[in-house]
Structure 1
Amino acid sequence: MSLPVSLLLSRWNVGGIRALGALVSLSLAGCSGGETKVMSLAELSGRTLTYALTDVDDEETPDAQGAHRFTVSYSVVDGPCSRFADDVTATLNGQPMTLVPGGASDVGGRADACENSRAYFNYDPGAWSREPVGDITVQLQDATQTVRLVLQGAKAKRRFAFQGEGTPDKLRVGQTYTFLWEPASEVPGPVSVVLMREGGRAPGTLTATQEGGKVGITIPTTTPQANHLLSLEASLAGIVRECSGVASCDGTVFHSEDFVIAVVP
């Protein structure tokens, strides 16, 4: 089923692109006087390395920039903004990552803003879906230090798999439906479920029941018989197997997925 233009525009007005919003909030923070200092990885070793795996299957913009991305970012602390030295390299499972050196920035009109020193990798969701679940190993290196982050089982394409009879493109009012987070070895945090009607001005949040990775939703009997966009999203903390060359490693795995559905009696 194709998504009607009116539903796309309604959803854009309400939410925008979730993946890009999450990445922007990650990259900016305050610094001292808008100054930039080139720092080696050894000089950055006292900071936290934050990781973010974004897996957004957006019906409106399935190939949006940053929708399927893994990012590692150095925390910002009081003092000059950090900037990677020219010899820094970064890889994810041996493949080169894109480096963003960081430094003082006036994005958003803030003269004292810092853009985090970070690296990211845009993965192919189709390839990750076909390949077996595996670890993610990130390595940053320069002449002074090697930084390693290993996340157990993080290389996986997440999805909400529809369970039971029928298909997720046609749901009946008053009935309960179940979706299963995959991979099944993971248990996400609370799953948020939003239903937006075609032409509707605002989405409605549905009450969900969750048992492990299974989430059950009931289509309210008052739901209009029309096309809707059903959105499910959740996050979880990864399992850090190795974190070396920095003070600590912390982060989240986020997945959201849209289903275009027809609500029927």
Structure 2
Amino acid sequence: MIRSRSVRVPSLVVYSLLLSGGLAGCGGRTEAPSVPLSAFVDRTLTYTLVDVDDLENPDAAGSHRFTVTFSQPDRGCTRLAEGVVATFNGQPMNLNLGGIPDSGGGRESCEQTQAWFDFEPEAWAAEPIEDIRIFLQEPAGESTVSLILRRAKAKRRFVYQGVGSGTTLRRGQTYSYLWEPEEEVPETATVTLLREQGRAPATLEATQDGGLVSFKLPAATPTATHLLRLLATTPGEVTECGGVARCEGSFLHSSDYEVSVVP
């Protein structure tokens, strides 16, 4: 069995915190006033889509999740008022109202307001590509925050391009994988190789032509079973951003393959 813990992609919680700040200093405040959704008009909405196909732990919490995170004000710490409903393409999302944590964070910690939706990768793979539509609404409809991402609801993958199944790799040979959906062009991809029972992955030198990622397997690669991982991000295309100052973010995907390296 491949051991991939040392190269595991950060969980959604960690990834979201890195992008959005996660916990912000509250300047010693011990209370976070509740504010209506209309108070978010000058905030930044950060979206993250994590689509991690972990070969060893495919059902890890947060490995297939879409999240929106709202920045806190420049000064102080606030909590979204009760009653707001968040939906992902009409389906309910989990909602953390934010504010001062009940325990563990200390008075200097301030949680950002977040909403998230866990998706089934098999279902997305079988369904047609469509927009992601996020809405947060107050009970009486006084205020709404909206985010629409063009053709973002899609299962992403790196697909082997070549003869055979791609489960056997020869030293000194070049191999290619194509990002899907092909209409997207990912940013610079990372390719790593971890030997079975190994502790540190090797990062392989790769070239990229649009969504086609290629690498040459080094001649010194040990003949053994390895975990091959390809990882990349893409920013997505925002077609609607309402009720906040701006919307920004990215989608992250990684594909794992168990491969045998031969001379």
Normalising by structure 1, we get a TM-score of: 0.92
In structure 1, the partner of 2:108 is: 112
1-side partners of 2:79 and 2:245: how far apart? 18
Q: Indicate the SS of the match to 2:16.
A: helix
| Shift, 1:169, TM fit | 1.6
Please report the RMSD computed on the Cα atoms of aligned residues, expressed in angstroms: 1.6
Is residue 150 from structure 1 mapped to residue 113 from structure 2 by the alignment?
A: no
In structure 1, the partner of 2:129 is: 133
Normalising by structure 2, we get a TM-score of: 0.93
In structure 1, the partner of 2:201 is: 203
Q: Indicate the SS of the match to 2:60.
A: coil
Q: After superposition, where does 1:82-101 map in structure 2 within 5 Å?
A: 82-101=78-97
In structure 2, the partner of 1:29 is: 24
Are the equivalent residues in 1 in contact too, given 2:72–2:112 (CA < 8 A)? yes
Is residue 230 from structure 1 mapped to residue 228 from structure 2 by the alignment?
A: yes
| Shift, 1:108, TM fit | 6.7
| Shift, 1:16, TM fit | 4.4
Residues 93 and 215 (structure 1 numbering): CA distance in 2 closer, same or farther, change over 3 Å?
same
In structure 2, the partner of 1:39 is: 35
In structure 2, the partner of 1:215 is: 213
Indicate the percent of aligned positions where both proteins have the same amino acid: 50
| Shift, 1:110, TM fit | 4.9
In structure 2, the partner of 1:252 is: 250
2-side partners of 1:196 and 1:123: how far apart? 28
Which of 11, 20, 45 aligns to 1:19? It is 11
Are the equivalent residues in 1 in contact too, given 2:55–2:257 (CA < 8 A)? yes
- Give CA deviations for 1:101-125 in whole Å, capped at 9, x if unaligned: 1111387755311111010000111
Residues 90 and 109 (structure 1 numbering): CA distance in 2 closer, same or farther, change over 3 Å?
closer
| Shift, 1:82, TM fit | 2.1
In structure 1, the partner of 2:165 is: 167
Q: After superposition, where does 1:45-60 map in structure 2 within 5 Å?
A: 45-60=41-56
Residues 75 and 69 (structure 1 numbering): CA distance in 2 closer, same or farther, change over 3 Å?
same
Identify the structure with the greater strand proportion. Answer: 1
Aligned residues: 257
